[in-house]
Homo-oligomer: A and B are copies of this chain.
Amino acid sequence: MANIQDVADAAGVSTASVSRFLAGQKVRTADAIRSAIEALDYTPSTIARSLKTGRHNAIGVVVPDITNPFFAGLVRGIEDQARVNGYDVILGNSDESPTQEEALIQTLIKRVDGLIVAPIIEEDQSILALSKTSVPVVLVDRSVTSTNYDSVLVDNIGGITAAVDHLVELGHTRIAFISGPLTSTPGRARHTGYVVATAAHNLDHCPEYVIEGDFREESGDAALRQLWNLDNRPTAVIVANNLMTIGALKALRELDVAVPTQMSIIGFDELSFAELLQPPLTVIARGDNDQGSRSATLLFERIQGTRTRSGEVTTLPVELIVRGSTSTPTKP
9 contacts between A and B (CB under 8 A): A43-B110, A47-B111, A79-B93, A80-B93, A88-B108, A89-B91, A246-B276, A249-B276, A278-B278
Pair B45/A47 contact, Cβ less than 8 Å: no
Interface string of A54-82 (1 = CB under 8 A from B): 00101000000111010011011001100
In the complex, whether A46 has a CB less than 8 A from a CB of chain B is: yes
| Residue of B with least CB distance to A87 | B107
The distance from the CB of A140 to the nearest CB of chain B, in whole angstroms, is 16
In the complex, whether A23 has a CB less than 8 A from a CB of chain B is: no
Pair A91/B72 contact, Cβ less than 8 Å: no
In the complex, whether A90 has a CB less than 8 A from a CB of chain B is: yes
B-contacting residues, A140-165, CB 8 Å: none
In the docked arrangement, what's the CA distance between A246 and B69, Å?
15
In the docked arrangement, what's the CA distance between A144 and B261, Å?
53
Query: B residues within 8 A CB of A278?
Result: 277-278
In the docked arrangement, what's the CA distance between A106 and B92, Å?
22
In the docked arrangement, what's the CA distance between A278 and B277, Å?
7
Interface string of A235-264 (1 = CB under 8 A from B): 000000000001001100100000000000
Pair A67/B58 contact, Cβ less than 8 Å: no
In the docked arrangement, what's the CA distance between A273 and B75, Å?
22
One complex includes copies of this chain to the number of 2
Query: Contact residues of A with B, CB < 8 Å?
Result: 43, 45-48, 50-51, 56, 58, 65-67, 69, 72-73, 75-76, 79-80, 88-93, 106-108, 110-111, 246, 249-250, 253, 271-273, 275-278
Query: B residues within 8 A CB of A76?
Result: 65-67, 93
In the docked arrangement, what's the CA distance between A312 and B135, Å?
43
| Residue of B with least CB distance to A1 | B133
In the docked arrangement, what's the CA distance between A209 and B72, Å?
34
| Residue of B with least CB distance to A60 | B88
Pair A66/B75 contact, Cβ less than 8 Å: yes
The distance from the CB of A113 to the nearest CB of chain B, in whole angstroms, is 12
In the docked arrangement, what's the CA distance between A275 and B246, Å?
10
The distance from the CB of A271 to the nearest CB of chain B, in whole angstroms, is 7
Can you name 13 extra interface pairs (CB under 8 A) apart from A66-B66, A66-B72, A67-B72? A45-B110, A47-B56, A58-B90, A66-B76, A69-B69, A76-B93, A79-B91, A79-B93, A89-B91, A246-B272, A253-B275, A273-B276, A277-B277
In the docked arrangement, what's the CA distance between A131 and B179, Å?
51
Query: B residues within 8 A CB of A90?
Result: 58, 88-91
Query: B residues within 8 A CB of A277?
Result: 273, 276-278
| Residue of B with least CB distance to A48 | B51
Query: B residues within 8 A CB of A80?
Result: 93
In the docked arrangement, what's the CA distance between A267 and B276, Å?
14
| Residue of B with least CB distance to A275 | B250
Query: B residues within 8 A CB of A249?
Result: 273, 276
The distance from the CB of A81 to the nearest CB of chain B, in whole angstroms, is 12
Query: B residues within 8 A CB of A69?
Result: 67, 69, 72
